[in-house]
Structure 1
Amino acid sequence: MIASKSSRILPWLLATFASTCALAASVVDNALLTREPSGAHWAGYGRTFDEQRFSPLRQVNAGNVKRLGLAWSLELDDVPNVTTVPLEVDGVIYFAAGYSIVHAVDARSGKLLWRYDPEVTKVGGQKLKTAWGSRGLAFWKGRVYAGTQDGRLIAVDARTGKLVWSVMTIAKDDNRYITGAPKVFNGLVVIGHGGADYGPVRGYVTAYDAETGKQRWRFHTVPGNPADGFENKAMEMAAKTWTGEWWKHGGGGTVWNAMTYDPEFNRIYLGTGNGAPWNQKIRSPGGGDNLFLCSIVALDADTGEYAWHYQTNPGETWDYNSAMDMVLATLPIDGQPRKVLLHAPKNGFFYVIDRATGKPISAEKIVKVTWAERIDLSTGRPVENPAARYPNGGARVSPANQGAHSWHPMAFNPRTGLAYIPVRESEDFYSDQGVDTKHWKHPPGMIFSTGLAPGAAPTDGPLMEPSSALLAWNPLTQQQAWRVPTPGEYSGGVLTTAGGLVFQADAGGKLNAYDAERGTRLWAGDLGVGTLSPPITYTVGGRQYVSILAGWMGGSTVYGKRSAAMGWVGREQPRRLLTFVLDGKGALPRPPHHTHPTPIDDPAFVVDAAKAKRGFIAYALNCLTCHGMDAIAGGYAPDLRASPIPLAVEVFDSVVRQGALAQRGMPPFADLGADDLDAIRHYLRQRARHDLQE
């Protein structure tokens, strides 16, 4: 009888327990994303709507952080890059890696719960020519939202990993793609796109119903052809700041990364990108501010109607995106609390902006800046150095186009009052010598092209070697609190906590914990590979965890030479999810392994110098983004100096022009002529022989 009674009760208990767990599941909505004081979850890109990347957790703190150890690791052998921000809700970690593949992982054990593959490599086509990967996703009421590289926005059930809905956000076969994280609020999910460097693209963002996927509103960031009419008064206003026939070049201004929702004003702030092409002499030959390039644009969150804008680079011509994170805070200014927006775009200034009006309160340089002397706060405009616009064909300019601060998110700690920014000191040479600016057209196909002379270099000495640092900056005083040099030319995104800590990964393969007040490094944990992704922290079962996706470089393979110098090169390097906890006893599956590809050569191959010169241009336009500067790879794509494929013309043609490896992420370059392909082969052999002799 006892056994019989137990057999009847046990299913009831299990069902009751399952029902209780379901009822206890956290509802991720405006309330949780506005203020989540427990720190239990990391449910948004910046944890909460303010994008501060600040956690109130203090179980791990400056006094005990040395006890942090690895809890578990999960190897990700089938994704090319992991430069993404994970989320955590109710003990499950969610992230999108590689070609927008969404994963769910148990936060206690590291067990993979489910994986949803949108099969981008089967449908992405020419959009696979970009190497940036997914930078994040969003969570709302039991669903995970992600953009795909081919331009879809997808909603996936967070419990099962099943697709709920999918919508194409771009036009068929255009040059747009998605790598940025969606933004979810008020039952809407908003997504932008990239692509302005790869063709005539006009930027926009689109809001969809989070439940159904139905489009609710769309806002363009630059005006189209005036003859077609304007979508709204904002576009009519913006068109007055352009000249020539800019719409034929697209204009640019894509929102490829940062968006911030402000629940206090019910606004969404868009961080817009550079012009298409970069060179303003081409897209707007008569000058002008070119709104809304390189701007923060504030919109009504429910309708998408324009509220205000602030442009960091009027008439920009250096790829100085304002697509970097925009952090919300309340600061005591002139004795009064002010609701402000903190912004550190590529151009090297740190801005404090009034969120109510969009007016700048202060702006100061955080790295070496030569394109402008200062920001005139009476007008909000930069006081430019005229020579920086390369009026005579070429100019040295700091920062370089990669920026003083790129997509790697900064953090703000309201307890210390400091912003923590991964900064980069750099210099570039901008030149349009030999470029027909009056008749320039973007090359056919999805090819990286800027309206500048590819490969141009100064004749009066080498450019500054780029370097990186973690900078602690006081927004009130606009002064440095401390600065710590970091290895390589990039360092990772930042997390800060109430435990008095700042966490950041670096190119040397370490996850570091710094004292938030003084910048002293208190702990470093091995990741086994150089890493740029930002960490997150959360609690499960009363324990605080720190998780990070580790893997080298992602979309920064343009600088393959410097990546290769760190030794994190090639497909053999790990991509993994690592989680740390106090007194963790785990060990890396394999120790760090630095590799340096060895170029190979065919002694019978006779290099034609003229073909090699032409091949350099063709390589720069078609191959550089994935396979690296000077043909030295620094990421998942193979080093073509060390690959046997270019040695055989038929095999090289089948891969490059016919798409034999499309399912592995190598798209076909059907627009590339056989003569160009042959020229690239001569360039690669020339590079290989040069590097073998060094």
Structure 2
Amino acid sequence: MARSNLRRVCALSALSSLLLLVLVGCDRNQGQNTLSASGEPDGAVLGLANTAGANTLLLDDSAGEDWPAFGRTYGEQHFSPLTQISDGNIDELGLAWYLDLGPGNPVTGPLAVDGVLYFASGYSVVHAVDPRSGKLLWQYDPRVTEVAGKRLRMGWGIRGIAYWNGKIYTGTHDGRLLALDARSGELVWSVMTLEEGGDDLFISGPPRVFDGKVIIGNGGADQASVRGFVTTYDAESGEQLWRFYTVPGNPEDGFENPAMAMAAETWHGEWWRYGGGGTVWNAMTYDADADAILLGVGNGSPWNHRIRSAGKGDNLFLASIVALDAKTGAYRWHYQVNPGETWDYNASMDMQLAELEIDGQLRKVVMTAPKNGFFYVIDRTNGKLISAEPFAKVTWASKIDLASGRPVEDPAARYPDGSTFVLWPSPLGAHSWLPMAFHPGTGLVYIPTIETATAYSDAAIDTDNWQRTPGNAVDGGTSPDFVVEDAGPLNGTSSLLAWDPVAQQKVWQVANPGPWNGGALATAGNLVFQGQIDNSFNAYAADSGRRLWRYDTAAAVLAPPITYAVDGIQYVTVLTGMGTSAAAFGPLLPVAIDYRSEAKRVLTFALNGGASLPAAATAERAPVADPTFVAAAEENVNGLLIYAQRCAICHGVELVAAGQAPDLRTSAAIVTAPSFAAIVRAGALTSRGMPGFAELTDQELADLREYIRAAAAVWRAELSGE
């Protein structure tokens, strides 16, 4: 593929780290529960806590035997007080057992409660496993592929699950929130969380539970005209308690509350025609001290501020932390990291609670490292900014003004008058959704940091008459170029960064391969665990950053690890395999990842663990033989556009797949037109997560097939030395 042609359609080809979107529903009775071969699990294995106990488990000072929430506790610190595994004996850590998983997204955060390990993979297929042996206790499949329809085109599955009072909660890609009995895996209740007709929303983030309630958000703002909101339900019954919208709707319809009326004053033009965005697709944190739920609000829809809001106004509550009364959903305060955001800079990264001594005073704070490259420390009692400093390379702003709390922007960063601006960080963000960890002992935050650039311009965009690109495209109303040849390594870099949130400065930093790395876990044993895309799972000294241990996982490790204790033994568990938006960026990765051979597994470690992984599968990646193909004189640009709009999200930019779906250049299905049509248009592989695109005409289907076959032919020629 000609790189110059790709650049012309980069905005259409799902090149953001937020490629995670869609929705629809089904009823309470849909789903499948499968027990292990031994039948009903032993009730003694699954001791269930009462409501008071469930709340105690989630407090930041809980003992640590359990890991009952995405970040372990309400404070989302991704920290464990367990010390059996420490920097003094980490060399004795070994694999206790592994469990192979089926196809689909394996980048999810597990839970461990009362001696049972829980996790989801693929499209919210929830598993319960005995962590002592790796034995499957039960499995629940919500059958998402049977009901999601077009929503399968956006996103790849769930990032995490939740626990409360004997129930496991998961969102589903099609928009349901499910409560499962933790003992048996039976469905307790199911509710559709999305509004009727909201076909462009979906769920990919973990729900959160607090004080007998469960809250869920959604995604979709990158690809559709959606209006973000969160909904809170009674954790026992599934009854809806309250809903909060993050951006205002059409003023003619009235505003739901005073907060929406206030927010509307910061919008201009007919913003509601574009939805506005502001989806809460990932981060939510419960402040038990204040009985407040904090929302990490997403970017605008579309990204381009000139289209979305006539280039005017702050556009509340985009790219903001919003605090709500946990009982009523009433607005309390907000802090906006990017007023009038226009670069896909959302505030959806994890938000961690802590008490820090600042200027001799103990302050209750919320800390976050959002996409825009600044690390924020905010007073969580009132939303006032305490400090903010860049933790990665930043070109869009020189600083955050502490008096006003607003960024001091470079005016050129908004790419005015058709100009081009090289933006650091790129829309991938200086920190993506993969969580950081806070260690109360060292006082440091450990951030999976990304360093990439993007050149922004809207010179080729008719901002006065812009319309969304059809299909599956991420279209922000701009033309971002992710290949900035004079901005350093073309594939970008990443690192694990230890950051002092009080001094606002780097303490140590470890380089990681490529532009993507895994979530972090810190422990009181002076350890930080993190996976990488080079098939390694690593432990570092929390105080110095010295690597103390490495395990060859035979697959990329992006998922956030957890640690917990059962029968006096501390375990560490992590899932392996490529997933979520990173899989779209095959050309940027320093390693080749094959969908068919990559090992998607659960790995659990303990001291003196003696298990071992089987030899890594070897599958030679090579273009399919296609003897009847005759290359056209020119590249099929229409086929390229169709691929960018509908296929690149899963099958990879420039047709270089990275583990989420097959590399189409290797597929026998492209050789014959009937096979290609059966899969792409008729949806023959829907059950495996491949949606059908029934709207494609015969000519469009032919153009798409021609484009893929031509790319395979170029690859064959390269391999043969022609």
Same fold (TM over 0.5): yes
Alignment of 1:449-528 (within 5 A): 449-453=475-479, 464-528=490-554
- Does residue 254 (structure 1) correspond to residue 273 (structure 2)? The answer is no
Shift of 1:261: 0.2
Describe the shift of the 1:22–1:583 C-alpha distance in structure 2 as closer, same or farther (beyond 3 A): closer
- Residue by residue over 1:46-102, the C-alpha shift from the partner in whole angstroms, topping out at 9 and shown as x without a partner, is 1111111111111111110100001111111x2312101000001111111101111
* Conserved 8 A contact 2:47-2:114: no
| 1:651 match | 675
SS in 2 for 1:248: helix
Q: C-alpha separation between the residues in 2 aligned to 1:201 and 1:523?
A: 45
Aligned match of 2:636 in 609, 612, 620?
612
CA contact (8 A) 1:324 1:343 kept: yes
2:63 is the counterpart of 1:38: yes
Q: CA deviation at 1:673?
A: 3.2
Report the Cα distance in structure 2 between the residues aligned to 1:297 and 1:459, rounded to whole angstroms. Answer: 38
Residue 474 of structure 1 contacts residue 481 of structure 1 at CA under 8 Å; is this kept in 2?
yes
2:575 alignment partner, one of 525, 543, 549:
549
Please say if 1:437 is aligned against 2:463.
yes
Specify whether residues 677 and 19 from structure 1 end up closer, same or farther in structure 2 by C-alpha distance, changes over 3 A only.
closer
Q: CA deviation at 1:387?
A: 1.4
Shift of 1:322: 0.7
Secondary structure in 2 matching 1:283: helix
Structure 1 position 558, deviation (Å): 1.4
Q: How far, CA to CA, are the matches of 2:190 and 2:91 in structure 1? A: 45
Query: What's the TM-score once normalised by structure 1's chain length?
Result: 0.94
What secondary structure, in the 3-state scheme, does the structure 1 residue paired with 2:267 have?
coil
Instruction: Tell me the residue number matched to 2:426.
Output: 400
Cross-structure match for 1:162: 186
The 8 Å contact of residues 365 and 380 in structure 2, kept in 1 or not, is answered as yes
Residue aligned with 1:566, SS:
coil
TM-aligned CA deviation for residue 617 of structure 1: 1.8
- State the shift of 1:671 in Å: 2.8
Is 1:270 aligned with 2:295?
A: yes
Contact kept? 1:530, 1:550, Cα under 8 Å: yes
List per-residue Cα deviations over 1:368-421 (Å, max 9, x = no partner).
Answer: 111111111111111111112121333211111111000100000010000000
Q: Distance in 2 between matches of 1:410 and 1:311?
A: 20
1:454 and 1:617 in contact (8 A); partners too: no
Cα deviation per residue 1:510-561 (whole Å; 9 max; x = unaligned)?
A: 1111000000001112222111001111111111111111112343121012
Verify the 8 A CA contact 1:435 1:451 in the aligned structure 2.
yes
Aligned to 1:13: none
1:190-242 deviations in Å (ceiling 9; x for gaps): 00001111211100000011111111000001111111100011111111111
Identify the range of structure 1 (134-143 vs 631-640) with the bigger mean alpha-carbon deviation.
Answer: 631-640
Q: Which amino acid aligns with 2:313?
A: G
**Retained in 2: the 8 A contact 1:318–1:401?**
yes
- Conservation of the 8 A alpha-carbon contact between 2:60 and 2:75: no
**Aligned partners of 1:513 and 1:79: how far apart in 2?**
28
Partner residue, 2:15: none
Q: Could you tell me which residue of structure 1 aligns to residue 36 of structure 2?
A: none
2:362 alignment partner, one of 334, 337, 344? 337
Alpha-carbon distance in structure 1 between the residues aligned to 2:46 and 2:637: 65
Q: Distance in 2 between matches of 1:579 and 1:365?
A: 36
Letter in 2 for 1:573: E
Match of 1:536 in 2: 562
Whole-Å separation in 2 of the counterparts to 1:486 and 1:437: 39
1:663 to 687, 699, 704: 687
Indicate the percent of aligned positions where both proteins have the same amino acid.
54
Residues 327 and 602 (structure 1), Cα distance of their counterparts in 2 relative to 1, 3 Å cut = same
| Shift in CA distance, 366/308, structure 1 to aligned 2, threshold 3 Å | same
Are the structure 2 counterparts of residues 624 and 686 from structure 1 closer, same or farther at C-alpha, using a change threshold of 3 Å? Answer: same
Cα distance, 1:21–1:99 mapped onto 2, change above 3 Å: closer
Residue 97, structure 1, aligned to residue 121, structure 2:
yes
Contact 1:370 1:398 in 2 (8 A): yes
**1:420 equivalent in structure 2:** 446
Does structure 2 retain, via aligned residues, the 8 Å contact 1:434–1:453? yes
Deviation at 1:675, TM superposition (A): 2.7
Q: How many equivalent residue pairs? A: 675
Alignment correspondent of 1:367: 392
Distance 2:485 2:465 in 1: 27
**In structure 2, do the counterparts of structure 1 residues 367 and 464 end up closer, same or farther at CA, with 3 Å as the change threshold?**
farther
1:144 CA drift (Å) = 0.3
Pairwise CA distance, 1:612? 1.4
Q: Contact 1:351 / 1:364 at 8 angstroms: preserved in 2? A: yes
Alignment gaps of 5+ in structure 2: 1-41
2:166 matched to which residue of 1?
142
Deviations 1:490-518 (A, max 9, x none): 11101111111101111111111100000
Output the CA distance in 2 between the equivalents of 1:498 and 1:454: 43
Query: Counterpart of 1:188 in structure 2: which amino acid?
Result: K
Partner secondary structure for residue 234 of structure 1 = helix
What SS is found at the alignment partner of 1:238?
helix
Where does residue 216 of structure 1 map in the other structure? 241
Measured after TM superposition, the shift of residue 592 of structure 1 is 3.3
Which amino acid in structure 1 is aligned with residue 437 of structure 2? A
In 2, distance between residues paired with 1:87 and 1:651? 41
Alpha-carbon spacing, 1:58–1:22, altered in 2? closer, same or farther (3 Å)? closer
What residue number does 2:17 align with?
none
Task: State the SS of the aligned residue for 2:665.
Answer: coil
